Structures are given as structure tokens and as C-alpha cells.
């Protein structure tokens, strides 16, 4: 089971002088259960790509399949696809509109025609998943903090119990603490079996979490693989204006200075070990001292 994107092209306002080719032939497969990262600078086509994954946008060319089902074949139930593939937009809190948190989170399940008892169960479950106290359900979403509003909006998608969860820059605009909390909750969801696609323009954030990632530039995927595989292409990433995680930059610089260090390193722990290894036991002691 997977989401497959085959040679996807998307042109906004095709056939007009304002035509923009936002996707120029993207091929990609996201496997069930994985934690997938999608990175790229603003304007590279990330949001356009993910809006194809649940059928919000229609390909100009190419195809999208969810668990083997082509979204744009006759007879495909797009409503069912949108329950299966939950999409959390960037700044999703801008789309809160109900009088209470409960009503907002309940909107999707109610729309699915579920009995009110199950709606209630799902709302409670979804709020808990994003770390919100059940008591918040009676409050107005507009009284909440920015981070809480964002959680409510994410809960609204979770209440549909999607198999695939796609989040478009879920940490944008949050403070470092708020970012860490949301990322922690997203990781927990993935560990519980939800397939997660995390969209970000921040390498540092994505690198530590995902098992695989794809890098977009100008409507194309320019790299794909495990974080280690992708970060080993440091120059390519720099060319397209994506900063490597700081630790990977340091490894590259040490290598340029002649240290025999692998470049596919992106956590501080791994870096420490690699440096100690090349410095040898004696100098290693000094290095250890220096890091204290």
C-alpha cells in the first residue's frame, strides 16, 4: 500500500499568459507506515504537490494513485480518498470557524455522517492526540493561543482517522518550544501507525525525524533517499539555496581541511564519534575534553 505519483505536471492557469508550471514531472512513492519529509524553498512546488495527493488539485498531466486507486479514473470516490489522506494546510488555524473547539474538530466526522456518539469519541481522541486537555472542547477557538489553535486544526483532520497524514509546514510561525512539541506529537502519531508526510523548508527539523525525504526545486525532485543519502549531496543542496543542517556543514568543512570524515553525518552524536575516530585515541582525549 502506498501513494504513488507518476510524472506529475501541474500548470496553474494553463493556456493563459499567466500560466505557471508549478510541477514539471514529479515521480514519487510514499510507502504505508513511513515518515516521509518533503523539503524545498518557498515556491518550489511543495504545496502544489501535496494538494494532488488527496485530489484537491487535478494533474495537468501524469497520475496519482492511493493504495492502487487512480484518483482521476471514473468511479473513484474522492470523498473517501480525502478521508484516507488527511491534509493539514499551512496555517490551518486560519480555517477554524466554529463557535467551539468541539464543533470545529467534529466538523469532519459529522460531514462523514457518523452518529453523534462516535463523533464525540473521535473528537476526544483527536484532542488527546495533539496533547490538548478535553476541557478545551467547550471554549471558543478564538480564545486560544496560537499553538493551541494549530493543534485544534490538526485534531480536526485527525478526527477523520486518516491513514495518511500530510502536514504542510506545521511548525511555521511557532516558537522553538511550540515547534518541538508539535513535532513530538507528529512523531508519536507516526509511531502509532499513521503514515506521515512532513513538508518543511527547514532541513534541520526534518533530518532528525524522517526515514526518507525528497527535495524539490523549481517544480522537480532533485534528490530523494534517506537523510544520509540526501545530505551527502551537500553542494547540490547549497546550489538550490537549502542550507545543510549545521552539523553536516561542519563535517563538510572538516573534510575540506583534510580530515577523513564521512559527509553523510547529521546528528551531533554521530559527528562526535566520527571526529574521535579520525583523531585517534590520544588526540581523542583532547577532543573529548574540548566538548565537555
> Which residues contribute to the site for ligand ADP (CB under 6 A)?
12-13, 20, 22, 40, 42-48
- CB-nearer residue toward ligand ADP: 28 or 155: 28
Tell me the closest approach of the beta carbon of residue 165 to ligand ADP, in angstroms.
Answer: 17
- Cα-based distances in Å from 148 to 13, 91, 101, 104, 120: 36, 12, 10, 13, 19
* Contact region with Mg ion (CB under 5 A), list: 47-55, 121-129, 263-271, 282-290: 47-55
Tell me the closest approach of the beta carbon of residue 274 to ligand ADP, in angstroms.
Answer: 33
Find, among 186, 190, 218, 227, the residue nearest to 88 by Cα: 186
* Contact region with Mg ion (CB under 5 A), list: 41-49, 182-190, 243-251, 277-285: 41-49
Find, among 164, 162, 134, 137, the residue nearest to 38 by Cα: 164
- CB-nearer residue toward Mg ion: 72 or 91: 91
Q: Where are the alpha helices (DSSP H) in 85-219?
A: 101-111, 116-129, 146-158, 176-191, 203-207
232 binds, among ligand ADP, Mg ion, none (CB under 5 to 8 A by kind): none
* Contact region with Mg ion (CB under 5 A), list: 44-52, 56-64, 131-139, 284-292: 44-52
Tell me the closest approach of the beta carbon of residue 42 to ligand ADP, in angstroms.
Answer: 4
Q: How many C-beta atoms lie closer than 10 Å to residue 115's C-beta?
A: 10
Longest dimension (CA), the chain: 69
Tell me the closest approach of the beta carbon of residue 134 to ligand ADP, in angstroms.
Answer: 34
Tell me the closest approach of the beta carbon of residue 44 to Mg ion, in angstroms.
Answer: 8
Find, among 183, 122, 118, the residue nearest to 150 by Cα: 183
Amino acid at each position: 500500500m502506498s501513494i504513488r505519483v507518476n510524472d506529475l505536471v501541474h500548470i496553474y492557469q494553463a493556456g493563459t499568459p499567466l500560466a505557471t508550471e508549478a510541477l514539471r514531472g514529479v515521480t514519487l512513492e510514499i510507502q504505508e507506515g513511513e515518515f516521509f519529509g518533503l523539503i524545498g524553498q518557498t515556491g518550489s512546488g511543495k504545496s502544489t504537490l501535496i494538494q494532488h495527493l488527496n485530489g484537491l488539485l487535478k494533474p495537468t498531466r501524469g497520475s496519482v494513485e492511493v493504495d492502487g486507486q487512480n484518483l482521476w479514473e471514473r468511479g473513484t470516490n474522492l470523498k473517501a480518498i480525502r478521508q484516507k489522506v488527511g491534509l493539514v494546510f499551512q496555517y490551518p488555524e486560519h480555517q477554524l470557524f466554529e463557535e467551539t473547539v468541539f464543533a470545529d474538530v467534529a466538523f469532519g466526522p459529522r460531514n462523514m455522517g457518523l452518529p453523534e456518539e462516535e463523533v464525540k469519541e473521535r473528537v476526544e481522541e483527536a484532542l488527546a492526540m495533539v496533547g490538548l486537555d478535553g476541557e478545551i472542547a467547550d471554549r471558543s477557538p478564538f480564545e486560544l493561543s496560537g499553538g493551541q489553535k494549530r493543534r485544534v486544526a490538526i485534531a480536526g483532520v485527525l478526527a477523520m482517522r486518516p491513514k495518511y497524514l500530510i502536514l504542510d509546514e506545521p511548525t511555521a510561525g511557532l516558537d522553538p518550544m511550540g515547534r518541538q512539541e508539535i513535532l513530538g506529537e507528529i512523531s508519536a502519531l507516526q509511531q502509532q501507525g499513521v503514515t506521515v508526510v512532513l513538508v518543511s523548508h527547514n532541513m534541520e527539523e526534518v533530518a532528525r525525524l524522517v526515514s526518507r525525504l525528497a527535495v524539490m526545486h523549481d517544480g522537480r525532485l532533485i534528490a530523494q533517499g534517506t537523510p544520509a543519502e540526501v545530505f551527502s549531496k551537500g553542494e547540490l543542496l547549497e546550489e538550490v539555496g537549502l542550507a545543510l543542517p549545521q552539523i553536516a556543514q561542519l563535517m563538510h568543512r572538516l573534510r575540506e581541511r583534510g580530515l577523513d570524515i564521512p559527509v553523510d553525518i547529521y546528528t551531533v552524536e554521530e559527528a562526535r564519534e566520527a571526529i574521535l575516530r579520525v583523531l585517534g585515541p590520544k588526540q581523542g582525549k583532547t577532543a573529548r575534553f574540548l566538548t565537555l
